[in-house]
């Protein structure tokens, strides 16, 4: 392993190899969020598990601790008239706290980003010097013996919700269950729900506010929620203003859907324009 240096933004979760009609693509929350944090000027580190099939060279400039595995986590998405059908073909090695290098354990921001039940939930309370944010999608899905992915309840979620600084998830993650949304918001310091082209809703101190996205032509929404999460966590720590951070992240994510896949990572112009828009 090469020498590691301290990071500002630490991500824990699997990168994914996504099977698409045009071939294999690098995916997963850690990929999109890490590249967004890097674009925003932060030093970024990832603890993940990926095989030789994962194009990790696309994460150039980001420090990676890669836990040995025979194959990467591989997802395939098929879109039908009944919605998305997702298949998990392989899952890489689970991630434990012991895999986190000592030099990274006091990173200012720690982002727990599971996509396939691979991140140990107890890690929510194992970074006392850090601000911890969570995108819990991977704790809310399971799969059968054929790899067919289905939604499941997030067991023991209150143990995580009560310990972390903020949670970001999509309306689809909770199957549009408004009662569940309000319950989670009540148990979380900051709870942000992304709603695609309708923007996002931030719940804080019993108040919920909606933030509208830019009106754009959507090309590919893949990774938009991950870009939102990174933008929100970073701007929150920079400004200490959750409302401003949520508005900024909403605008940043809406820019990303105008391009395909990792090409949607924010440009410097978009990062600055979104800051100016929020402050105007």
Domains of the chain: 9-279 (3.40.1190.20)
Q: For residue 111, which of 6, 12, 7 has the smallest C-alpha distance?
A: 12
Residue with tokens 């019993």: 206
d(CA 280, CA 240): 18
Predicted pLDDT of residue 100: 98
Q: For residue 168, which of 109, 83, 226 has the smallest C-alpha distance?
A: 226
Predicted pLDDT of residue 47: 98
Q: Which residues pair with 168 in a beta bridge?
A: 192
Indicate the pTM of the whole model.
0.95
Q: For residue 253, which of 220, 207, 206, 209 has the smallest C-alpha distance?
A: 220
Residues 6+ apart with CB under 8 A from 211: 199, 200, 201, 202, 246, 247, 250
CB atoms within 10 A of CB 18: 19
List the chain pLDDT tens, one digit each, 280 residues: 568 999 999 999 999 999 988 889 999 999 999 999 999 999 999 999 999 999 999 999 999 999 999 999 999 988 777 667 899 999 999 999 999 999 999 999 999 999 999 999 999 999 999 999 999 999 999 999 999 999 999 999 998 999 999 999 998 888 888 899 999 999 999 999 999 889 999 999 989 999 998 888 878 888 999 999 999 999 999 999 999 999 999 999 999 988 988 999 999 999 999 999 888 7
For the chain, the three-class secondary structure string (H helix, E strand, C coil) is CCCCCCCCEEEECCCEEEEECCEEEEECHHHHHHHHHHHCCCCEEEEECCCCCCCHHHHCCCEEEECCCCCCEEEEEEEECCEEEEEEEECCCCECHHHCCHHHCCCCEEEECCCCCCECHHHHHCCCCCEEEECHHHHCEEECCCCEEEECCCCCHHHHHCCCCEEEEECCCCCCCHHHHHHHHHCCCEEEEECHHHCEEEEECCEEEEECCCCCCCCCCCCHHHHHHHHHHHHHHHHCCHHHHHHHHHHHHHHHCCCCHHHHCCCHHHHHHHHHHHHC
14, 30 Cβ separation under 8 angstroms? yes
**Pairing state between β 23-27 and 141-143:** unpaired
């Amino acid at each position: 392993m090469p020498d590691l240096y301290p990071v500002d933004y630490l991500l824990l979760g699997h990168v994914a190899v996504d099977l698409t009609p045009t071939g294999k693509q690098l995916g997963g929350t850690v990929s999109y969020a890490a590249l967004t944090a890097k674009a925003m000027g932060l030093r970024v580190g990832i603890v993940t598990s990926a095989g030789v099939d994962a194009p990790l060279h696309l994460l150039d400039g980001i420090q990676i601790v890669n836990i040995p595995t025979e194959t990467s986590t591989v997802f395939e998405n098929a879109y039908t008239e009944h919605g998305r059908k997702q298949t998990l073909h392989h899952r890489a090695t689970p991630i434990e706290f012991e895999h986190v290098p000592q030099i990274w354990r006091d990173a200012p921001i720690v982002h727990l980003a599971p996509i396939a039940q691979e991140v140990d939930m107890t890690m929510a309370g194992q970074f006392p010097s850090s601000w911890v944010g969570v995108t819990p999608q991977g704790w809310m899905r399971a799969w059968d013996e054929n790899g067919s992915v289905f939604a499941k309840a997030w067991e023991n979620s209150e143990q995580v919700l009560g310990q972390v600084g903020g949670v970001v998830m999509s309306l689809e993650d909770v199957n549009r269950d408004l009662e569940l949304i309000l319950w989670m918001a009540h148990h979380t310091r900051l709870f942000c729900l992304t709603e695609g082209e309708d923007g996002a809703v931030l719940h804080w101190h019993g108040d919920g506010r909606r933030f509208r996205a830019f009106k754009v032509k959507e090309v590919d929404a893949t990774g938009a929620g991950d870009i939102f999460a990174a933008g929100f966590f970073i701007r929150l720590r920079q400004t200490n203003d959750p409302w401003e951070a949520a508005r900024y992240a909403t605008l940043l994510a809406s820019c990303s859907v105008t391009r395909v896949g990792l090409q949607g990572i924010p440009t410097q112009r978009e990062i600055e324009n979104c800051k100016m828009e929020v402050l105007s």
